[in-house]
């Protein structure tokens, strides 16, 4: 993919590689847009601006996955303070201790092999 660097996904991954959580913003709709895309899902226009999240959010929903092999882990929907939601996981605590309403902070899970970097979260300690 010769133009992968110019694609919205390519730009998003570049931000993650720098340790930043980027999202797009539609000035016409005045909404945050996430997952990266070419056009705004509200207006259908391609006027999307890149912004960087402050990395703070709140757990909206969570569940624990029990794989056949390996340790259980959580899957969580995180509402970011900037107005978008993403699916991720909360680390550094037991999966059953992740709670709806828990405040969390973003960090990057570094790229491994063919796997690109991706966002994960840790508790902030605030209620």
Can you give 42-74 as a three-state secondary structure string? CCCCCCCEEEECCCEEEEEEEEEECCCCCCCEE
pLDDT value of position 2: 47
For residue range 58-86, what is the model confidence (pLDDT) as tens digits? 999 999 999 999 999 999 999 999 999 99
CATH classification of 54-111 is 1.10.3720.10, yes or no? no
Residue 93: both structure tokens together: 């605590």
Cα–Cα distance, 122 to 112 (Å, whole number): 20
Tokens 């966002």 correspond to what residue? 119
How much is the average pLDDT of 28-54? 93
First vs last Cα of the chain: how many Å apart? 44
Q: Which of 52-56, 79-83, 110-114 has the lowest mean pLDDT?
A: 110-114
Whether the predicted pLDDT of 102 surpasses 60: yes
Report domain extents, the chain.
Answer: 1-52, 54-111
pLDDT value of position 93: 94
pTM over 0.85, yes/no: yes
């Amino acid at each position: 993919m010769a133009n992968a660097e110019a694609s919205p996904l390519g730009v998003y991954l570049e931000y993650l590689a720098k340790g930043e959580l980027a999202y797009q913003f539609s000035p016409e709709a005045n909404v945050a847009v996430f997952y990266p895309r070419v056009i705004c899902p509200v207006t259908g226009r391609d006027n999307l601006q890149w912004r960087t999240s402050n990395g703070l959010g709140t757990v909206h929903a969570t569940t624990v996955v029990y794989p056949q092999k390996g340790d259980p882990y959580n899957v969580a929907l995180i509402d970011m303070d900037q107005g978008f939601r993403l699916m991720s996981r909360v680390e550094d605590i037991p999966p059953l201790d992740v709670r709806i309403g828990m405040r969390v902070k973003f960090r990057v899970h570094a790229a491994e092999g063919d796997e690109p970097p991706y966002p994960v979260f840790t508790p902030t300690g605030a209620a």
